[in-house]
Amino acid sequence: IQTTQAQVSGTVTATLFHGTIDLDARQSDHSLFFPEIRGLQSRSFNQQLCGPAAQIAGLPWEVLSRRMSKVSH
């Protein structure tokens, strides 16, 4: 773990409650997290780029749906 986590730094503030965890804050000088592109309302992120990824992610469900329709007829 020491080798793989050598570049990890920063702090995370979390709240634990009845078996759930909420991340309240995070801070790191070397973070890969960019809050300016994280939200769906962000103007700096082109949401049209998500379309093909969503289609690919949904492909197994499309195949399953067609298979189930074929079997039930």
| Structural domain total, the chain | 1
Domain that holds residue 36: 2-72
The pLDDT value recorded for residue 38 is 66
User: Which tens digits make up the pLDDT trace of 28-64?
Assistant: 887 777 777 766 666 777 778 888 989 999 999 999 9
pTM beyond cutoff 0.75 = no
The pLDDT value recorded for residue 39 is 64
Distances (CA, A) of 54 to 40, 48, 50, 58, 65: 15, 10, 6, 6, 16
Q: Is the pLDDT of residue 27 over 90?
A: no
Predicted confidence band of residue 18 (pLDDT cuts 50, 70, 90): very high
